[in-house]
């Protein structure tokens, strides 16, 4: 379980082919110094298990499903990634409950910069839109954000200068793919509504 509060940005050191998946080697010396094998860390919001720690780097194995359904498959050496270690019991929850299980991807359709502040509009599928609401929570590449507008194929968020400077969101360009995880409560509400139809079958 995570909070959507990014601890640091890491850098992809190497993407090593391990068919049918790959090994992602990420450099972030401060986090690596406090990490051990089998720890869970969210990379761009996707929960992965640390399989090796060495010389300021951490290695993760990503399977074909993860690579196909998230933006991790597009990473290359030098790519920045958002990193957050799993919550500990008793930690402050500054964002919202994030599981690290990506629901789908979105694409940046429009970016409006207002000085150091920005507003982003993302294009999404109807399936993801059904689990979103204005003023609700969304994790974008692992960053906990509040939804401003929510439409059937579009949602928007407003980003403060701090978030833009300390996460990968600040470098996003039109057309870029982002990982999305909707609010866990929305999933259960949607399932409850869907289950009512079962009783009529």
- Look at residue 63 and tell me if it is in a domain: yes
Per-residue pLDDT of the chain (201 residues; tens, 9 = 90+): 999 999 999 999 999 999 999 999 999 999 999 999 999 999 999 999 999 999 999 999 999 999 999 999 999 999 999 999 999 988 888 999 999 999 999 999 999 999 999 999 999 999 999 999 999 999 999 999 999 999 999 999 999 999 999 999 999 999 999 999 999 988 888 888 889 888 776
* Whole-prediction pTM: 0.95
Total of domains in the chain: 2
* Residue 157, domain extent: 104-193
Biggest distance spanned by C-alpha atoms of the chain: 59
- Look at residue 95 and tell me if it is in a domain: no
What CATH code is carried by the domain that includes residue 20? 2.40.30.20
Do 118 and 72 fall within a single domain?
no
Do 108 and 184 fall within a single domain?
yes
Do 133 and 183 fall within a single domain?
yes
Instruction: Specify the pLDDT at position 201.
Output: 63
Do 67 and 140 fall within a single domain?
no
Domain termination residue (choose one: 51, 85, 119) = 85
Do 189 and 109 fall within a single domain?
yes
- Look at residue 12 and tell me if it is in a domain: yes
Angle, vertex CA 73, rays to CA 138 and CA 166, nearest 5: 50
> Which residues sit opposite 147 in a β-bridge?
157
Angle, vertex CA 86, rays to CA 188 and CA 89, nearest 5: 85
Compute CA distances 63 → 21, 23, 58, 66, 167, whole Å.
4, 9, 17, 5, 25
Do 149 and 181 fall within a single domain?
yes
Angle, vertex CA 23, rays to CA 18 and CA 28, nearest 5: 165
- Look at residue 159 and tell me if it is in a domain: yes
3-state secondary structure of 186: helix
Instruction: Specify the pLDDT at position 197.
Output: 85
- Look at residue 92 and tell me if it is in a domain: no
The span from the CA of 196 to the CA of 175, in Å, is 38
Buried b (16+ CB within 10 A) or exposed e, 56-67: ebbbbbbeeebb
Do 149 and 182 fall within a single domain?
yes
Give the DSSP letter string of 48-87: EEEEEEETTEEEEEE-HHHHHHSGGGG--TT-EEEEEEPP
Instruction: Specify the pLDDT at position 101.
Output: 96
Do 108 and 189 fall within a single domain?
yes
- Look at residue 135 and tell me if it is in a domain: yes
Structure tokens at 32: 């690596």
- Look at residue 172 and tell me if it is in a domain: yes
Buried b (16+ CB within 10 A) or exposed e, 159-197: beeebbeebbbbebeeebbbbbbbbeebbeeeeeeeeee
Domain termination residue (choose one: 27, 51, 85) = 85
Instruction: Specify the pLDDT at position 92.
Output: 84
Do 120 and 172 fall within a single domain?
yes
Do 183 and 131 fall within a single domain?
yes
């Amino acid at each position: 379980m995570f909070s959507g509060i990014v601890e640091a940005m890491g850098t992809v050191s190497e993407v090593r082919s391990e068919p049918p998946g790959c090994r992602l080697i990420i450099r972030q010396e401060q986090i690596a110094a406090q990490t051990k094998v089998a720890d869970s860390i969210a990379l761009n919001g996707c929960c992965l298990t640390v399989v090796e720690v060495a010389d300021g780097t951490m290695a993760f194995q990503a399977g074909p499903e993860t690579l196909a359904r998230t933006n991790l498959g597009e990473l290359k050496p030098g790519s920045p990634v958002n990193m957050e270690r799993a919550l500990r019991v008793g930690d402050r929850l500054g964002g919202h409950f994030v599981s690290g299980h990506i629901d789908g991807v979105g694409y940046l359709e429009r970016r409006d910069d207002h000085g150091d502040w920005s507003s982003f509009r993302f294009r999404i599928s109807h399936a993801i839109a059904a689990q979103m609401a204005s003023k609700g929570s969304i994790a974008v590449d692992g960053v906990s954000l509040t939804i401003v507008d929510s439409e059937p194929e579009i949602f928007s968020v407003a980003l403060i200068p701090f978030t833009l400077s300390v996460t990968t969101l600040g470098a996003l360009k039109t057309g870029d793919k982002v990982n999305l995880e909707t609010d866990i409560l929305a999933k259960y509400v949607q399932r409850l509504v869907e289950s009512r139809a079962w009783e009529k079958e």
